[in-house]
Structures are given as C-alpha cells and as structure tokens.
C-alpha cells in the first residue's frame, strides 16, 4: 500500500476494484463507511458481483470478468479527451506520458463498452468523478491480481492514479489490501524466489556479496528460484524431488487441484509444517506441528507496511513448536548447528542487512508500530510513499493493451466461474471451519447463480447443481441471487467437499506467476 488504511478518511473519492472489502477486509471497510458517512466521500465500486459495498456507492460499474485493463484504459481515454488530467503533476513527476496517451487513444467509450459490458454513460460518470474529486484513493485485492494479466491490471491502476496526481499524496495512492495478517511481512522477509529480504534482487552481485558476508557463507547462486505455481509442474517432470510446505494448503488453494495431487504423487518427499492436519498434510511423508501466532513472540508487517510487535499469549499445545525451533532442529540433523536465538536477535540481524527496516528496533516497537521504509533510528517511518518524488525518480507510465482472459466462456462451457472468499470463512478453512460458531453461520459451500440462469436450467434455490470445467466437476447447493451477473457463477474456495479449484485452470500471469482464479469456463447442470 502506498498509503495507510486511515488515509481513506482524507479521500474525496474512493475507487474500489476487485475487492469485496466488506467480507474480506471488514475493518478497512469500516474506514470506508466512515469516510462516506462522516466526510462525504464518494465511492466508486468496480466489480462483476453486486457486493455489499454497492449499497454504499455513488456509482457501480459491473464489468465482465477479466476486462479490467480495457476498463481502466477507457477511463483514462475519457479523462484525457476532457482534459481532466493533472498535467502539472504529469510534467513534473512522470515520464513516458505520450506513450500512454497514444495507447489509450483507441479505447473509446463505445469500444470499451463492447468489451466490458458497461454503458458508455457510466464510463463517463466514473472517469469524471475520479478525476475531479481529489485526492482519490484506489483500493484493490485479488480480483485484480488473480488474472493472467494481473501485473498489467496493477500497472494500469498506477497509470490512472498518476494521471490524476493521486500518488504521493495523503488520501490518494494505489493500495493493495493483503489477504492474510503477515503476507506483507513474508514478502518483505524474502519469501519470494527472486529476492533477499526487502526485495533486494538475488541477481545483483553486490547484494549477494553483502548477504554472504553477513551470514558468513562463501556465496550464493545468482539464479532465480521457482514460484509455487512452478514447483508442482516441476515435480511432475522430476525436476523437483521434494517440497517443504509451511502454513499453506495447496490441495485446496492451488488451481487445477487434481493436477496438484498428481504432482504430489510424483514427489519423492513431502513435508508439511502447520498448526492443523490440513488436506495437504494428510498426503505428506512427514508432518511437523507448528505454533500459531499467539504462541510465539516476534513481529508481523501488516497490509499498510506497518511493523508490529507480537507477544506470546499462551504456550503451544502438545508437541507443537515454534517455526524457528523446528528449522533449527532440522538444520542440526543435516550437519549444521544453528545457534538458538531470540526473535529480537533475529530482527536485529534483519535490520542490519535490510535498508528499509534499518531504523526499526524492538525498543521502538514497544511504543507502537512503524511503517517502512524507516532507514535510521531517528526516522519516524513512512506512512505515505512517493511524497515529492518516486523511489525511481520519476513515475513511469506503461502503455498497456487489453488481453482477453486465457479461458473465456464458449459454446461447450458457456458460464464464467469466478472464485473467492465469504465473510464467515478464511482461505482454505484450516482454522475457521474448526469453529462451531462460524460453521453455524455458513455451514457448507453455496454456489451463487443469477436467477435468470437458474430458471433456464430448472434449478431452484437450495438444489444441488453440478459445475464442470475441462478439469473436473463439483456438486454444490445453488444460491439464487442477483450478486453475480447472468452468465457468471461465484464459488467460494474454502470447502474441501466441493473444491472450487478442481475447476480452475493452470494459466498464470507471465511475470508474477499468479493463477487466473477469477475467470474459468464452466458448464452447469442440475445435479441428479
């Protein structure tokens, strides 16, 4: 996130796209509601589903799933045609504006309407509202990123924000809302195959030398590793022999899960380290019981880049151990004895090799959280990024053309499947489906289908229906609702009994390697 969560209270307009904020980020949703009710902010919702936020919006654009780039380019086309852009900001703080301008020239309202399904007058209304009401904040989640064009979608949102001077200002910015409590921290710590902590690239010789010296090792290879969506196909071909899974449940969360199970069968060795015996853990050769967040000390870095101290509340049950203890014991058995160190010592080592965390200490965190970058101990932290200038100097516009989804609906599979979460459950249900209260609220998976489609298929509310793709089939109860548009079916992915990701395909974004969970072609029949 370029801006803190509370910054939406300073926004004149809030544009949310690809985020069911009320159900997936309810605390952040409360800030949006407050900004609307108390401060008079205008809300633009862009989403194929009629999510709860629509009821609070000034304007709702229901676009066809996977048409985000065309839509955003269409908004920028209108802004430029009506001279609503912040030209002084563009001239002073950005580059490659002419390339962007040339690219969006062909995204006329009628052309964009034909791709997105949005009426031309609504395109004009959204463009004018976002451009004229400043500052404007953009919030998005996996409805934007989980596409084969996910990176293009994010860059397009950055284009829109810069075009209207909304980057590097309070109440503005482009703000991805993280899906789990320490996803940002995991990425910051180097939980990606191409970087060391804080996104220092492994292909950089100086960076590798710095970490080799800090960790007292001879050196590191310069090659980039595999992402998770690359590991399992590599297991199928024998390139990867073993996988060590920590706090992840790919048998439910990864696309084309029959294929994932096939790849797991090809492995020589699978280890799962988790707090519960997940569906993936049941397939493992070794299961290592881990402590949860409340059973250990340390830090998390939340969605707004704020580093927060976490204090142990209870002891781990049974044989569960902290992750660092488990890793240390494995290392010992492999011939290298890691010294036992406290979380504070680990954090101290981290900040010494990580410039953006350099000024953050446990002592400072006792007084409250700090937003990185925080380069030294006198620095107050950086709640808003890119004030004055961008990290790279000038903000770079990208000329991006629309590319259709990898698997659109067709005559054989005429519906578009989109997947996501519901308010009562979380991710693969590892934790939430073990609680009786939440299970009472949402006991089984429900497939949302538009009543017009259900009538054609002779499906009534509560009937079981069979949803099939080129990968497999599942059976779920139908929930007849206007939330999805005709031709679209929404399935939550929490439920092992009806795994949505049996249906999804394996195509990924070429840069980020993120699967296209939001658009898969399916057919629907009433289950017998």
Give yes or no: residues 136 and 204 share one domain: no
Give yes or no: residues 171 and 250 share one domain: no
Integer Cα distance of 222 and 199 in angstroms = 15
8 A C-beta contact, residue 448 and residue 500: no
Integer Cα distance of 457 and 526 in angstroms = 7
User: Average pLDDT in the 408-415 region?
Assistant: 97
- Give the pLDDT score at 187: 92
Task: Give me the helix-helix angle, 343-353 and 205-214, nearest 10°.
Answer: 150
What pTM value is reported for the model? 0.94
Q: Is 512 helix (H, G, I), strand (E, B) or coil?
A: coil
- Give the pLDDT score at 265: 96
Give yes or no: residues 195 and 294 share one domain: yes
Cis peptide leading into residue 101 (ω within 30°): no
User: Average pLDDT in the 81-101 region?
Assistant: 97
Q: Is 139 helix (H, G, I), strand (E, B) or coil?
A: strand
Give yes or no: residues 24 and 162 share one domain: yes
pLDDT surpassing 90 at residue 116: yes
Nearest to 235 by CA among 248, 224, 223, 244: 244
Integer Cα distance of 470 and 466 in angstroms = 13
8 A C-beta contact, residue 144 and residue 66: no
Lowest pLDDT segment from 61-70, 266-275, 438-447: 438-447
What is the band of 181 on the pLDDT scale with cuts at 50, 70, 90?
A: confident
- Give the pLDDT score at 404: 97
| Residue 406 belongs to some domain of the structure | no
pLDDT digits (tens, 9 = 90+) for 234-243: 999 999 999 9
| Residue 225 belongs to some domain of the structure | yes
Integer Cα distance of 510 and 514 in angstroms = 8
| Residue 266 belongs to some domain of the structure | yes
Contacts of residue 127, defined as CB under 8 A and 6 or more positions apart, other chains included, come to 74, 75, 76, 78, 79, 82, 84
> Of 177, 204, 229, which closes a domain?
177
Residue 189: phi and psi, rounded to 5, are -85, 5
- Token pair belonging to 385: 């990024």
> Residue 314 class from Cβ within 10 Å (0-12 exposed, 13-18 middle, 19+ buried)?
exposed
User: Average pLDDT in the 496-511 region?
Assistant: 94
What stretches of 81-135 adopt beta strand conformation (E)? 94-95
CATH number at residue 320: 3.40.50.740
Give pairs for 284-288: CB < 8 Å, separation 24+. 284/245, 288/321, 288/326
Integer Cα distance of 32 and 415 in angstroms = 33
| Residue 480 belongs to some domain of the structure | yes
> Of 129, 153, 177, which closes a domain?
177
DSSP H helices, 120-238, are: 120-132, 142-145, 150-163, 183-188, 205-214, 228-237
| Residue 390 belongs to some domain of the structure | no
CATH number at residue 105: 3.40.228.10
> Residue 261 class from Cβ within 10 Å (0-12 exposed, 13-18 middle, 19+ buried)?
middle
Compute how many other C-beta atoms are within 10 angstroms of the C-beta atom of residue 181.
14
| Residue 399 belongs to some domain of the structure | no
pLDDT surpassing 90 at residue 93: yes
User: What is the total count of domains within the chain?
Assistant: 3
Q: What angle do CA 288, 292, 296 make, to 5 degrees?
A: 105
Give yes or no: residues 20 and 119 share one domain: yes
Give yes or no: residues 291 and 350 share one domain: yes
pLDDT digits (tens, 9 = 90+) for 137-152: 999 999 999 999 999 9
- Give the pLDDT score at 97: 98
pLDDT surpassing 90 at residue 522: yes
- Give the pLDDT score at 340: 85
Give yes or no: residues 430 and 504 share one domain: yes
Integer Cα distance of 238 and 274 in angstroms = 25
What is the Rg, in whole angstroms, of the alpha carbon atoms belonging to the chain? 24
8 A C-beta contact, residue 78 and residue 109: yes
Give yes or no: residues 293 and 194 share one domain: yes
Nearest to 526 by CA among 455, 458, 450: 458
- Token pair belonging to 499: 């795994």
> Residue 418 class from Cβ within 10 Å (0-12 exposed, 13-18 middle, 19+ buried)?
buried
| Residue 30 belongs to some domain of the structure | yes
Contacts of residue 272, defined as CB under 8 A and 6 or more positions apart, other chains included, come to 245, 246, 278, 280, 281, 284, 286, 287, 288
* Residues above pLDDT 70, as percent of the chain: 100
- Token pair belonging to 168: 């590097």
pLDDT surpassing 90 at residue 259: yes
> Of 139, 157, 177, which closes a domain?
177
| Residue 385 belongs to some domain of the structure | no
User: Average pLDDT in the 264-273 region?
Assistant: 97
Q: What is the 3-state secondary structure (H, E, C) of 466-485?
A: EEECCCCEEEEEEEECCCCC
- Give the pLDDT score at 80: 98
pLDDT digits (tens, 9 = 90+) for 277-292: 999 999 999 999 999 9
CATH number at residue 438: 2.40.40.20
- Give the pLDDT score at 528: 81
User: Average pLDDT in the 225-241 region?
Assistant: 95
What is the band of 111 on the pLDDT scale with cuts at 50, 70, 90?
A: very high
Give yes or no: residues 190 and 299 share one domain: yes
Integer Cα distance of 97 and 394 in angstroms = 11
Give yes or no: residues 24 and 122 share one domain: yes
Q: What distances in angstroms separate CA 285 from CA 272, 330, 332, one per listed residue?
A: 8, 15, 20
Q: Which domain holds residue 10?
A: 5-177
Give yes or no: residues 93 and 212 share one domain: no
Integer Cα distance of 314 and 366 in angstroms = 20
Give yes or no: residues 234 and 169 share one domain: no
């Amino acid at each position: 996130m370029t801006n803190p969560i509370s910054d939406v209270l300073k926004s004149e307009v809030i544009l949310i796209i690809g985020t069911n904020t009320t159900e997936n980020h309810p605390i952040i949703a409360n800030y949006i509601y407050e900004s609307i009710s108390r401060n008079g902010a205008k809300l633009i919702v862009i989403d194929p589903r009629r999510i709860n936020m629509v009821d609070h919006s000034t304007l709702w654009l229901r676009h066809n799933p996977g048409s985000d780039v065309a839509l955003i380019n269409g908004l920028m086309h209108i802004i430029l045609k009506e001279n609503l852009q912040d030209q002084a900001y563009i001239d002073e703080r950005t580059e490659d504006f002419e390339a962007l301008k040339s690219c969006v020239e062909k995204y006329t309202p009628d052309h964009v309407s034909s791709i997105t399904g949005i009426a031309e007058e609504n395109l004009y209304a959204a463009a004018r509202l976002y451009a004229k009401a400043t500052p404007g904040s953009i919030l998005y989640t996996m409805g934007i990123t989980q596409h084969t064009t996910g990176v293009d979608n994010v860059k397009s949102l950055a284009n829109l924000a810069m075009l209207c001077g909304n980057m590097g200002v309070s109440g503005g910015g482009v703000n991805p809302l993280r899906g789990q409590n320490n996803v940002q921290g995991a990425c910051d710590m180097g939980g990606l195959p191409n970087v060391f902590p804080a996104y220092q690239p492994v292909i950089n010789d100086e960076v590798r030398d710095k970490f080799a010296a800090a960790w007292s090792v001879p050196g590191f290879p310069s090659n980039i590793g595999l992402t998770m969506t690359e590991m399992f196909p590599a297991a199928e071909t024998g390139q990867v022999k073993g996988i060590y899974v920590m706090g992840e449940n790919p048998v439910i969360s990864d696309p084309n899960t029959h294929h994932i199970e096939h790849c797991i069968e090809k492995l020589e060795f699978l280890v799962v380290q988790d707090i519960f015996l997940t569906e993936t853990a049941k397939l493992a050769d070794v299961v290592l019981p881990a402590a949860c967040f409340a059973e250990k000390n340390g830090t998390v870095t939340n969605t707004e880049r704020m580093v927060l101290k976490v204090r142990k509340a209870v002891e781990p049950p049974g044989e569960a151990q902290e992750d660092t203890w488990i890793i240390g014991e494995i290392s010992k058995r492999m011939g290298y004895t890691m010294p036992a160190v406290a979380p504070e010592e680990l954090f101290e080592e981290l900040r010494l090799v990580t410039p953006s965390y350099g000024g953050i200490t446990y002592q400072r965190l006792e007084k409250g959280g700090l937003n990185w970058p925080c380069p030294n101990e006198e620095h107050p932290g950086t709640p808003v990024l890119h004030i004055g200038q961008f990290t790279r100097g000038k903000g770079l516009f990208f000329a991006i053309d629309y590319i259709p989804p990898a698997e659109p609906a067709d005559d054989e599979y005429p519906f578009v499947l989109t997947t996501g979460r519901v308010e009562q459950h979380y991710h693969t249900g590892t934790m939430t489906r073990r609680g009786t209260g939440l299970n009472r609220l949402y006991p089984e998976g429900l497939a949302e289908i538009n009543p017009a489609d259900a009538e054609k298929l002779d499906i009534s509310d509560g009937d079981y229906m069979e949803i099939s793709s080129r990968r497999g089939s599942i059976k779920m109860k139908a929930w007849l609702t206007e939330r999805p548009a005709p031709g679209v079916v929404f399935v939550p992915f929490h439920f092992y009994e009806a795994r949505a990701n049996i249906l999804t395909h394996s195509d990924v974004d070429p840069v980020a390697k993120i699967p296209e969970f939001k658009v898969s072609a399916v057919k629907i029949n009433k289950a017998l």
